[in-house]
Structure 1
Amino acid sequence: MKTFKIDVALLIVFLTGLAYGTTYIYQFFFLHYYHLPAMFIDLNTNILTGTLFPLILLITAILMYIGFIMVIVKGKGSFFESKKLWTIPLGACFIALGGAWIVGGTYPEKKEEYMVIKQNKELFVVITSYKDNLVIAPT
């Protein structure tokens, strides 16, 4: 069997793209709940760090788990020796993107604590921040 080798640089590029994708999808559906346009999506390093770190942990855990199962089932070998097993990490990526979609759409429904701003005797809640501004909505 042929062994697949992946350069670490390609893996970093892939995970970064996956982090941008999941962050964008999460932000898009979060803002969509409040009927805000996608122009308020702000992808910065603070937001991406919160997405990239759990993705790296998730994919690493999946690969380690599959490698452990392969050792138990085959008694030897490597995860990278089978072409069919690559569908599992690919599925994990789709699960991550789908999870961002679901969480981004359902999180605002369950959110109970908002920052409240009083302006001209009216109360507004802060939905998100965009660059150096706050996006607010009436209560």
Structure 2
Amino acid sequence: MSWLVAGDFNETLSNADKSRGPPRGAAPMARFRQALVDCDLADMGFSGSRFTWANRFTKERLDRACRNPTWGNMFPCSRVLTLPLSRSDHNPLLVEVNSELVVTHRTPKRFRFEEMWAQHGDCPNVIQKGWMMPSTG
């Protein structure tokens, strides 16, 4: 069977998942890590902000997605995105489920000419080489 569990676990895996405020207790974090081991679950990591909960004084990563090895083998290119806050004090998580690597093509940046380049001694050679290169489109 394959498993994906995501949500607010109300505990961190380590004090690296916390910013400011008093450190979390070692025993509850150790119990949380052991619970993941006992359930054969692994944290999927994240893209975006590390912290998923905040108050006026502290930020913590309390929300996460965990998967078992079977799920990880079925969907090896999945990822977890931390989305921006909206109406809650927790950031929502988006789990992108992918069995294959998804390649996104970015639009090339627009070329902008800087007047100072014309003053460079090698400018005519660079332009001539550029015009000689084959291009499509």
TM range (shorter): under 0.3
More helix by share: 1
Q: Which has the higher contact order (CA 8 A, sep 6+)?
A: 1
Structure number with bigger Rg: 2
TM-score when normalising by structure 1: 0.21
